[in-house]
């Protein structure tokens, strides 16, 4: 299972939100590029980079930091936040992102979803963010009225090659991932699923591997020193079950 350390950006700083709430933010006193270098030094191959300002405003705000990280590390960067047009997706890819995560616009515009998957294939990842079982949009501030399974099946039918699932209620809470929802989603589609939200212990990684996640995004557990990137990578190399 792949470990993807996360950097969430707001006002150019590394932050973590509690359950997606912009009013419950922890800011970390380390520059995002320095944080990326630390993750790389511990063995990370991928980085999950989220532009929170972009997610809220509807267009990327931190493409400059994406470019800095790409040019100053060897990390493969997965970038999301405010990607709502083919142009913004292409801009992130041209600046060095290996793939981009699109959420809100896929829910709102099926024609664009089909176009993105058709033009950019596996470089586009569908970000499915849910609260109480409903897919959320606009930086986790509104409910869409669509369930995760419904949305995932729709995206797969349009050519989506990969899904990232985030349970907003577990994100930043260090309460453990929503295994039930992840298992249901995994069983509903044939494409790979990456889990995001709630990982607090190495045992959580075991459980995610057991239900067949392709990877997991880990944020707060690293920042709060629950375990290291290196320990996480070593853990998922060990067969479970």
Known catalytic residues are: 8, 129
Phi and psi at 28, nearest 5°, equal -105, 135
Torsion region of 118: left, alpha or beta (phi above 0 gives left; psi -120 to 50 gives alpha): alpha
Query: What distance in Å separates the CA atoms of residue 63 and residue 55, rounded to the nearest whole number?
Result: 13
Beta bridge partners of 4: 217
Task: Please check whether residue 56 is in contact with residue 23, taking contact to mean a CB–CB distance below 8 angstroms.
Answer: no
Query: What distance in Å separates the CA atoms of residue 92 and residue 79, rounded to the nearest whole number?
Result: 7
Element (H, E) at 154: helix 148-157
Phi and psi at 132, nearest 5°, equal 55, 40
**How is residue 122 annotated by DSSP?**
G
Q: Given CA atoms 144, 149, 150, 156 in this order, what sign does their dihedral have?
A: positive
Where do we find the tokens 């973590």?
Answer: 16
């Amino acid at each position: 299972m792949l470990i993807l350390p996360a950097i969430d950006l707001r006002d150019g700083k590394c932050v973590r939100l509690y359950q997606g709430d912009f009013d419950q933010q922890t800011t970390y006193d380390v520059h995002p590029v320095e944080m990326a270098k630390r993750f790389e030094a511990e063995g990370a191959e991928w980085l999950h980079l989220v532009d929170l300002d972009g997610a809220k405003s509807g267009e990327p705000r931190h493409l400059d930091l994406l470019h800095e990280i790409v040019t100053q590390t060897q990390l493969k960067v997965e970038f999301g936040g405010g990607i709502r047009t083919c142009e913004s997706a292409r801009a992130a890819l041209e600046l060095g992102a290996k793939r981009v995560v699109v959420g809100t616009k896929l829910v709102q515009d099926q024609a664009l979803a089909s176009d993105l998957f058709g033009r950019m294939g596996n470089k586009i990842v569908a970000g499915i963010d849910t609260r109480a079982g409903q897919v959320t949009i606009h930086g986790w501030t509104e409910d869409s009225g669509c369930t995760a399974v419904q949305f995932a099946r729709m995206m797969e039918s349009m050519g989506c090659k990969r899904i990232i699932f985030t349970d907003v209620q577990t994100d930043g809470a260090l309460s453990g991932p929503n295994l039930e929802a992840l298992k249901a989603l995994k069983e509903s589609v044939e494409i790979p699923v990456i889990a995001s939200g709630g990982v607090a212990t190495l045992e959580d990684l075991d459980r995610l591997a057991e239900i067949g996640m392709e990877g997991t995004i880990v944020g707060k557990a690293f920042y709060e020193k629950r375990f290291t990137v290196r320990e996480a990578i070593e853990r998922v190399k060990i067969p479970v079950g």
